[in-house]
Amino acid sequence: MDDRQQERAALGVHLSVSGQRARILEDGFSEHGYVLEIGGAEQSHVDIADATVVFYEYLRRIANVLDVLAPPHEPITALHLGAGALTLARYVQATRPGSGQVAVDYEPQLMGFVAELLPLPAGTRCELVVSDARAVLPELPRLFGHNPAVTDGVFRGIDAVILDIFTGMDAPAHLATADYYAELRELLSGRGVLVVNVGDDAGLPFFQQQARAMLDTFEHVWCLCDSSMLTGEHEGNVVLIGTARELDEDAADALFARGPHPAEVLGTEELWDFLEYLSGI
C-alpha cells in the first residue's frame, strides 16, 4: 500500500449492519502482512506477497482440507460464506489457478473495502456477493454460471463450501441448524465438502450442537483442531468437515502432516467418541 492507502485502511469503514468499524492494519511482524480488524478484534490475516501463507491456525486447517480435496493444482469450485479478508479465496487462486469462486458476506461495505486495499491476485475468478448466507443459496447456480460448477447449462455442484461465520452461541440461529446443512449438502459436487469453522467457549457447548447437526446430515464428518481442544477445557476453534467420503488413512495422514501442530484429526467414529466424552464433563 502507498501512504494514502495506508491512511484510508487505518481509518477504516463503518459497517452498516453490525455498526462496527473495519480497519486494515500492518500485522507488525512481517513485511507484507496485514490484519483485518473488526470492532477492535482481529478477524483475518493476509500476506499480499504470498497468498499461500495462511497465518491463523484454523484457516490453515481449512486450507489443508482444500489441498487434499483434489490433485495438486487442479481447479475447484469454492463458495465462501463469510468473506473476511478473502484469505482462503486468495489461497485457492494461488494453489489452484483457474478455480471458480463465490464469496458472500452480509456487510455491504466490507468486501469492497477489502478488495480495494488488498486486491485479489491477478486472474482470480471470484464473484463478490452481499447477501445473507442462507438467502443466497437459490442464486448460486446463476452466480457460478461462468465457471466449472456449470456444464452445458447444468449445475454440477460445488467442490468446497466454507462456512466461517459462527462465534459460539451468538451465531445466527437460522444458519446453525441441520436443515441449513442439508441445503448446503445439496449444493455439493460428488467430491464436495462442507467445511464449518466453529469458534466456541470452554466446554464446547455450541460445537457439540453443530457436530451433532452435521452428523445428522452427512454420512461422514471429520474434525480438525489443536489437540488441546480435546480436553474440552479451552475456548477456541474446531473445524468440521461434512462429506460423503470416509476419512481414509492417506487423507488422515496428509491432514495431520500439514498441521499446525499439535494437531488432531478425527474421523466420524472418533468424533462420536469425542462428543460422548464432552457430554460427560
- What would the mean pLDDT of 120-141 be, rounded to a whole number? 95
How many helices (DSSP H) and strands (DSSP E) are in the chain?
9, 14
* Cβ within 8 Å of residue 134, ≥6 positions away: 174, 175, 180, 183
- What would the mean pLDDT of 3-29 be, rounded to a whole number? 94
225-243, pLDDT tens digit by residue? Answer: 999 999 999 999 999 999 9
Round to whole Å and give the CA distance between 247 and 233: 26
Domains and CATH numbers, the chain: 54-279 (3.40.50.150)
pTM: 0.95
Residue whose C-alpha cell reads 499480499 in the numeric block: 48
Element (H, E) at 67: helix 57-69
At 237 the pLDDT is 96
C-alpha cell at 75: 481447479
Which residues are paired to 78 by β-bridges? 101, 160
Round to whole Å and give the CA distance between 91 and 71: 15
- Three-class SS string for 96-146? CCCCEEEEEECCCCHHHHHHHHCCCCCCCEEEEEECCCCCCHHHHHHHCCC
pLDDT greater than 70 at residue 47: yes
Categorize the per-residue pLDDT at 10 as very low, low, confident or very high, splitting at 50, 70 and 90.
very high
